[in-house]
Amino acid sequence: MGESAKRIQELQQRVARLAGRGQGRETALFQLGHADADGFLGGGLGRGRLHEIFVTHAGEVGSGAGFAAMLARRALEADAALLWLRTDRTGGLGGGLYAPGLAEIGINVGSLILGLAPDEAALLRSAVDAARCAALGAVVIDCPGSARLLDLTASRRLALAAEKSGVTLLLLRGAAEPAASAAETRWLVGAAPSEALDANAPGRTMLDVELQRRRGGPAGRRWRVEWDRDQRCFRDPALPRPVVPLPARRPAGDRAPQEWRLTA
C-alpha cells in the first residue's frame, strides 16, 4: 500500500510538471497596428508562437513574402536578428530577397541572416535549431508548395521550440494547400489595388488578409490593410481623395444640405 501511495505521488508530481510545461511562459503579444485586427485578436499576435501564411494563388507568392516580412518587423524587438530560411530550390523559383524592399518595410538588413538549405529535411532541421535560439527575434521559414515532411508532428516540434525560447516563427507556405498544423494562427494573403500617389507614383502596399484559423479563439475575419512605411505598421487604407470638411457653426439655410458620396 505504501509503495502504491509513493507511485501515485510521483505520478501527481509528473502531471503537475507537464501541466506547467504546457502552459509555458506567459504569452507576450505584438500588435499589428491595425486597430480592428488587434482588437479582434485580443491585443495582437503571440510572440514566441508559430504562425502560418498562405497565399490566394501561386501568383501571390510575393504578397505572402511581403506579409511575412511585415509581421516579422512587428515582432522584432530592438535590433534583434531576423533569420530567413529557405531551400536552394525555393531561391531558384522565387528569386532572391530584395534588400531595398526589406529596408523599405523597416527591416534592418544588417541584422538579416539568410539561411539556405539543400532540401526540405535540412530546412526543417535548421528551423527547429533556429527556434531554440533565443538570440533571434523572428524566423521566417520559407517552405512553399507540397512539403511532405512538414506534417502535424513537425509543426508541433516547431511550435514547442518557439514557446520555450520566445522566438516568433512565421511559416511561409506560398502556393500550398493547408493541412493539419500546430500553428497558433493561419493567414491567407493576396494583393489589393492601391491608390497612385502624386505624379502617378506607385501607391502604398495594400493587402487583403484573412485570419482563417486561430487556436483558442474566433477566426474567419478579413481586412484590407495598408502598410505604413513611416510608422512601420498596418493600418486602414487611406481615403483615395481628400475629404471636404463640413463647415462649423454655420446657420441653417433655406437650401437642402449637399450630399457627399465617398467612394472607396
Looking at the predicted structure, is the pLDDT value of residue 258 above 50? Answer: no
Residue 203: pLDDT band (50, 70, 90) is confident
Torsion angles phi and psi, residue 157, rounded to 5? -60, -40
In a domain, residue 50? The reply is yes
In a domain, residue 238? The reply is no
Q: What pLDDT was estimated at residue 10?
A: 53
Q: Which residue, among 236, 237, 217, 238, has the nearest Cα to 34 in the 3D structure? A: 236
Q: Which residue in the block uniquely carries the three cell numbers 458620396?
A: 261
Q: What pLDDT was estimated at residue 103?
A: 94
Q: What pLDDT was estimated at residue 145?
A: 86
Residue 189: pLDDT band (50, 70, 90) is very high
Average pLDDT over residues 223-241: 87
In a domain, residue 178? The reply is yes
- How much is the mean pLDDT over the chain? 84
Domain of residue 88: give its range: 35-197+211-229
CATH number at residue 221: 3.40.50.300
In a domain, residue 262? The reply is no
In a domain, residue 191? The reply is yes
In a domain, residue 247? The reply is no
In a domain, residue 84? The reply is yes
pLDDT tens, residue by residue, 4-14: 655 655 554 45
Looking at the predicted structure, is the pLDDT value of residue 233 above 60? Answer: yes
Looking at the predicted structure, is the pLDDT value of residue 256 above 50? Answer: no
Looking at the predicted structure, is the pLDDT value of residue 31 above 70? Answer: yes
Q: Which residue in the block uniquely carries the three cell numbers 481628400?
A: 242
Average pLDDT over residues 67-93: 90
Region class of 75: left (phi > 0), else alpha (psi between -120 and 50), else beta: alpha
Q: Roughly how many angstroms between the first and final C-alpha of the chain, as a whole number?
A: 76
Using CA atoms, how far residue 81 sits from 28, 95, 138, 151, 185, in Å, is 18, 22, 7, 27, 23
Looking at the predicted structure, is the pLDDT value of residue 253 above 60? Answer: no
Domains in the chain: how many in total?
1
Instruction: Find all residues with CB under 8 Å of 26, minimum gap 6, and list them.
Output: none
Range from 54-63, 88-97, 196-205, 207-216 that averages highest in pLDDT: 207-216
In a domain, residue 21? The reply is no
* Residue 52 grid coordinates: 502560418
